[in-house]
Copies of this chain bind each other. A is one copy, B any other.
Amino acid sequence: MNTVDSIKILDATLRDGGLVNDFYFTDDFARALYKANIEAGVDYMEFGYRADKKQFDVNKFGKWKFTTDEDILGIIGKKDPRMKISIMTDVGRTDYINDIKPKKDSPVDLVRVATYVHQIDDCIKMINHISSLGYEVTCNIMAISTATDQELIECLNKLVKTNVIGVYIVDSYGSLYPKQVRHLTKLFHDILAPAGKMVGIHTHNNQQCAFANTIEAKACGARLLDATCHGMGRGAGNCFLEGLIGYLDGKKYHLNPVLDFVRKYMIPLKESGVEWGYNTSYLLTGLTNQHPRTAIAATKDKDDNFIEQYKFLSYK
């Protein structure tokens, strides 16, 4: 079990939550979240993606899909030394050569590079470049429930030779059970820890295991823990920040600022019609270890024919 002092909580509300509302958060929301995270003792706050504006229509998404340094500075003003700032970049979707300035000119501390296993070599090129600019860098391996141990071992053996500070287990499909998370965390830890690198965990709540999987990963050595306020995130959403901070509430982390933010911002946001969180369709994509896209469509269309959905998802 890691001590609380050795772990780092990252709030990914603006980023994974942005996948639910096309990143249209108000500045008031972002500022209040920044303040709440600092008061709660959160270690990193993620200010969305830095997607390539040449690939995505800026008129169809809010600014946190393309997060510039100026966008961040517009929210935070002067940087508070108590909390670090991250952005996420996707392999193939970020113009990392042109759109990432040297660290000394940016409020960003950590750049997280999200990749699928098959993109690992391109991912490492990105990691090396971004690291050379002076940033902390992590590698976030998505859809991990579809990868074999051998594939992951090969990725990790490449990643330990880079400057990443950590590598995340990303259960994009919300498919993993606690025992699988423990297995993967140990596998990651055995390779990463000797190289001085951390294991990270990012969960989805399709089978209502997001919080349990996060604390099980922590117990097996994961030190980078992702969560979002009220679990806001794609599809079934993520590990609830209030659950995780509550679990760790004490000297380092403080629950009250998160409770206050949930009350004032997250519950009203959900009541306004922005939709995320567990439902039966998400259960089925998690259960069958598949991308949530069919469940997202079913939820949007209010399609409740779960038997047909299960049949479709189970078709080999």
Chain A residues at the B interface, C-beta cutoff of 8 Å: 177-179, 205, 207-213, 215-216, 219, 230, 240, 242-243, 246-247, 249, 255-256, 259-260, 262-263, 267, 280, 283-284, 287, 304-307, 310
Contact = CB atoms under 8 A, between A and B. Distances in A.
A179 B216 CA distance: 8
B240 A208 contact: yes
19 contacts: A177-B212, A177-B215, A177-B247, A178-B178, A207-B211, A207-B246, A209-B211, A209-B212, A212-B212, A212-B213, A240-B283, A243-B283, A246-B287, A255-B310, A256-B307, A260-B307, A262-B306, A263-B305, A263-B306
Nearest to A210: B208
Contacts of A280: 230, 242, 259, 262-263, 267
Q: Copies of this chain, how many?
A: 2
> Closest 5 A-B residue pairs measured CB to CB?
A212-B212, A259-B306, A246-B287, A263-B304, A208-B211
B212 A178 contact: yes
B177 A259 contact: no
A312 to B, nearest CB: 13
Q: Which of A209, A212, A215, A247 has the most CB of B within 10 A?
A: A212
Contacts of A267: 280, 304
A207 B219 CA distance: 17
